[in-house]
Structure 1
Amino acid sequence: MSRTAETDARPLPTGAVLVAGAGPGVSGHLARLLAAEGHDLALLGIDPRELEQLAADGRDAGVRVETAQVDLTDDDAVRSTVAELGLRLGRFALVHFNPSAFREEDPLTLTPAALAEDVALGVGALLSVVQAARPFLAVDARVSVTGSMAADQPWNKAASLGVQKAAVRNLVHSLDTTLEPHGVRAVSVTVRGTLSTDPDSPFSHAAVARALRAALDQPADAWRSEVPYEG
């Protein structure tokens, strides 16, 4: 990286990292990256074993970790949980939103109720999380979202996923515009490839987590609320 790029980059402020939809994939790798940088962790998820493993990894890195098992579609539960975590940890440097629902149904079998259920997780929950975290966001904090090429190239047999990813990307653009006057920026990283469990793949969970981390350090005068990751 050039000296100019180093000067213009916006480093994350001090504060905890709130991960909504924490699990062993991209979100877990991103949490570990940021714990290694010294950020405390607040992890929201549904699997207690996955949460405990991530918490153990974070504590091994020497940071404080708080976990909460919560259904992200339960607006009241999410808001109260995030507020409690904010009071415990102080400021949030980053809110990362990771969840989406995968339902293998095409547009001729997908019902409106099922689509609404999926969108509630993959899109609506972002509102619950960010609105609850807003009082605790540090100046220069970030909001990031794991995006997908399904937003532009949906697989018809999992029609709701494409809707979720297109909608959440659109919402990130609006969040970024709304939060910018308060010193907070939002970004969606569109992963243009299929996630892989192969650690050597450019679309491994670790590689995508690194791309997300890099997107958080965009220069202030060239900030983009969507960053494509081509692998």
Structure 2
Amino acid sequence: MPGAAIVIGAGPGLGLSLIRRFAREGLSVGFVARRAEAVAGYQRALDAEGLDTLGLVADAADPESLRAALDELQSRHGAPKLAVYNAAIIEPSRFVTPSGIDEARYADAPGWRARGEPMDEDALVESFRANVAGALTLARHVTPDMIARRRGTLILTGGVLAFGPWIEWAGVSLGKAALRSLGHSLALELAPKGVQVATVAIHGTMARGTPYDPDLVAGAYWEIHRRPAPDWTPDVHFKADEADGADPDR
């Protein structure tokens, strides 16, 4: 039976792969990103592929902005049966000492410029809004309908950083650990009401043509959504090799 899905945090990697995978499975997919030009470009590409999608501009770190976008998506597509929180501020940083690198670059993925100076309190709160609080905004918006139907899936994009911080990724590590805790709390609340909540820990850097190709990761998200209730777990590890997940900057 067709239905709707929502992806918060559309980007050229995993975000677009998720949108395409869900749409190709027959869902009407709404997606959200911060930059208007990016949303317009993604929409043109998806329309050219004949996929049923709708992109809106909103800031996941701003509850009012995100709620307005979610209201619009729900009015167009109906209540989603699947929602993914994929938004984050990804920036190499430390808390007290300056970054030891100018840029983090792994595999063939684009690099990330380091903050340089230590992350102060204001930057930490800003990052927490995008990395964690936006996921709560999404959950509070979409899960009441899922509870009413006793069916639905909420997936949070986590990372191996949730299980142990990397030296150049202090802010992101803190955010992913908090996001995982939020996911576990939501799973405890919602599983008895028929709603699945899972946080995906991705143990490698996503890059096309690798074991961490975004299309492969998106396929894993779809399989999570299809799991029967006896197989639900709050943590899902996407790990190509047992050695994956160590801090490369040590």
TM over 0.5: yes
1:72 and 2:60 correspond: yes
Alignment equivalent of 2:170, drawn from 151, 159, 165: 159
Question: Which of 178, 183, 199 is residue 194 of structure 2 equivalent to?
Answer: 183
After superposition, residues 10-89 of structure 1 pair within 5 angstroms as 14-60=2-48, 62-89=50-77
Q: 2:142 aligns with which of 126, 133, 142?
A: 133
Between the two proteins, the alignment pairs up a number of residues equal to 217
Give a deviation string over 1:94-128, Cα, whole Å, max 9, x none: 11000111233212022122111101100000111
**Distance in 2 between residues matched to 1:168 and 1:38, nearest whole Å:** 29
Q: d(CA) in 2 for partners of 1:152 and 1:179?
A: 23
Corresponding position of 2:153: 142
State the Cα distance separating 1:54 from its structure 2 match: 3.2
C-alpha deviations, 1:47-93, integer Å up to 9, x for none?
Answer: 23332343344444544322211111111121122122212211201
Q: TM-score, normalised by structure 1?
A: 0.86
Would the alpha carbon gap of residues 53 and 192 (structure 1) be closer, same or farther in structure 2, given more than 3 Å must change?
same
**Partner Cα distance (1:136, 1:87) in 2:** 13
Structure-2 separation of matches of 1:215 and 1:147: 14
Please state if 1:113 is matched with 2:101.
no
Instruction: Give the counterpart of 2:231 among 222, 226, 230.
Output: 222
The residue number in structure 2 matching 1:8 is: none
> What SS is found at the alignment partner of 1:92?
coil
Distance 1:63 1:204, change over 3 A: closer
RMSD over aligned Cα, in angstroms?
1.8
Offset of 1:219 from its aligned partner? Answer: 2.5
* Whole-Å separation in 2 of the counterparts to 1:177 and 1:57: 39
Equivalence for 1:201: 210
Task: Give ranges in structure 1 of 5+ residues lacking alignment.
Answer: 1-12
Whole-Å Cα distance in 2 between the matches of residues 103 and 229 of structure 1? 22
1:213 corresponds to: 222
- 8 Å contact kept, 1:90–1:136: no
Structure 2: where are the runs of 5+ without partners? 97-117, 241-250
C-alpha contact (below 8 Å) 1:38/1:62 kept by paired residues: no
Deviates more, 1:35-44 or 1:181-190: 181-190
Report the CA distance between 1:135 and its aligned residue: 4.0
127-136 vs 15-24, which deviates more?
127-136
Q: How much has 1:174 moved relative to structure 2?
A: 1.1
Rate the CA distance shift 1:55–1:182 in 2: closer, same or farther, 3 A: farther
Q: Classify 1:162/1:58 alpha carbon distance in 2 versus 1 (closer, same or farther; 3 Å).
A: same
Larger displacement relative to structure 2 (158-167 or 137-146): 137-146
Equivalent residue letter for 1:219: P
Once residues 73 and 147 of structure 1 are traced to their aligned partners in structure 2, the CA distance between those partners, rounded to angstroms, is 16
Other-structure match for 1:95: 83
CA distance in 2, matches of 1:63, 1:203: 24
Deviations 1:140-195 (A, max 9, x none): 21001111111123222220000011110111111122122332111111111122
Rounded to whole Å, the distance in 1 between the matches of 2:42 and 2:126 is 27
| Cα distance change on mapping 1:46 and 1:91 into 2, 3 Å | same
2:144 and 2:192 mapped to 1: Cα distance?
A: 15
SS in 1 for 2:169: helix
Question: How many percent identity over aligned positions?
Answer: 27
Q: Whole-Å Cα distance in 1 between the matches of residues 225 and 4 of structure 2?
A: 14
Change beyond 3 A, Cα 1:85–1:16: same
C-alpha distance 75-55 of structure 1, shift in aligned 2 (>3 A):
same
TM-fit CA distance, 1:136? 4.1
Distance 1:53 1:136 in 2: 31
